[in-house]
Amino acid sequence: MPAKRTITVVGGGVIGLTTAYALIQAGHSVTLVEREDHVGEQASFGNGGQLSYRYVRPLADAGIPLEALSWMLQADSPISLRLRLDWKQWRWLADFLLACNARTNKANAARLLELALQGQQALNQWRQEGLDDFLWRKPGKLVVYRNAHKFSKAAKSISNPQQEQVLTPAECAQVEPAFAGLASTLAGGIFSPDDEVADCYLFCQALLKSLQQSKDFQLVKGDATLEDDQSDRCRVRINGAVWQTDLVVLAAGLASRDLMQPLGQRLPLYGLKGYSLTVEADPAVLPNVSVTDYDSRVVYARLGDRLRIAAMVDIGALNALPDPRRIASLKHLAEETLPAAGPYASAATWAGMRPATPTGVPLVERTQWRNLLLNVGHGALGFTLSCGSALTIRDLVEEMQP
């Protein structure tokens, strides 16, 4: 059995919590540091609720730059870009453009799929061991396409027809009758029967509740900082005081970028601002299957008796405050697509900054500092990739010499 370590995980979102959970299960002693009053209240709070294990393709792909240019001319576009005098943004965009080719996308998608499926197995095991109360279901996921070319491209990329089933518009309506009104506008759809949904915020609370039952776990509220101690190790401080620990795992989302600056290392992270609505509706009109409207980049997931609707990417937003115009646009799209699930006027609104790498592949790796590991950059797939990334960190820790 690997040697027991004291490990400090910085960041109390879904990435940090799953990392702490996997490390506690492996027999280590874990301190989780979170600067907010409660865990899971940033990018993990109001995400789309989809565990899209089979559909994990990076945003960076051939054709996306030209498509994005057309989106920028639309008021309700899935992606908006505000250019700023910010070298971090320009460098991220340049690296993103370099990744926008079919070969790179295919390789990155394969890595994301590996992480996602590993995470699906881990979550299934954790649930069997008693992790519960986060509205988990396995209804499958339907991705509907309005554009025939995009649908054809997606259908040709399928490698496992049993896990990703190509459907006609009529078959899409049969899989999820709540979206039958869209059938006449669709080119087709792809259904992944094994995909799941859950409430990410409740998942964070379930993880914390389980962790707090372990004598080897503690949650510390505070600000963490990293320093280079002029050796092959880095030093961590919490609220200014040096914190003694064997290893540090940085899982602080977008804040990880600033935390690494004192060490002189640039993390290729940029905040992609996303939005969501949460609607209380009559359960009889809510969809059962998780649905993604691909051309609008809107996802719909039933979480208990609520409907979570998430969409949009704002590149260049300065903070996570909801933009009223984007919220209004999202409500309008939802009303047109699924009018019976309203009223949308009273929907709870959310926006969050999702930390993304240009390639879409997170940084789950060791660093040049012998005691520091990274688990950052999951973008919009944080929930889906969280468990697989946590197991990767666990394995890296167990490979390291005490």
Q: pLDDT tens digits for 19-75?
A: 999 999 999 999 999 999 999 999 999 999 999 998 888 988 888 888 777 766 666
Closest of 360, 298, 295 to residue 109, by C-alpha: 360
Does this model's pTM top 0.85? yes
Helices (H) and strands (E) in the chain, counts: 10, 20
Pair of tokens at residue 47: 């995400």
Question: What integer pLDDT is reported at residue 2 of this predicted model?
Answer: 62
Beta partners for residue 221, in sequence order: 34
Within a 10 A sphere around the Cβ of 320, how many other Cβ atoms?
Answer: 18
Helix/strand/coil percent split, the chain, to 5:
35, 25, 40
d(CA 70, CA 74): 7
Instruction: Answer yes or no: are the C-beta atoms of 66 and 230 closer than 8 Å.
Output: no
Beta partners for residue 50, in sequence order: 197
d(CA 5, CA 9): 12
Low-confidence ranges of the chain (pLDDT < 70): 1-2, 71-75
Question: What integer pLDDT is reported at residue 107 of this predicted model?
Answer: 95
Domain 6-140+194-399 has CATH 3.50.50.60: yes
Instruction: Answer yes or no: are the C-beta atoms of 337 and 182 closer than 8 Å.
Output: yes
| 3 state SS of 142 | strand
Q: Which residues contact 331 (CB under 8 A, 6 or more apart)?
A: 277, 344, 345, 347
Q: Which residue has the tokens 């971090």?
A: 88
Q: CA angle, corner 180, sides to 152 and 326, nearest 5?
A: 80
Question: What integer pLDDT is reported at residue 1 of this predicted model?
Answer: 52
The Cα-based distances of 247 to 41, 56, 215, 287, 290 in angstroms read: 25, 30, 18, 45, 39
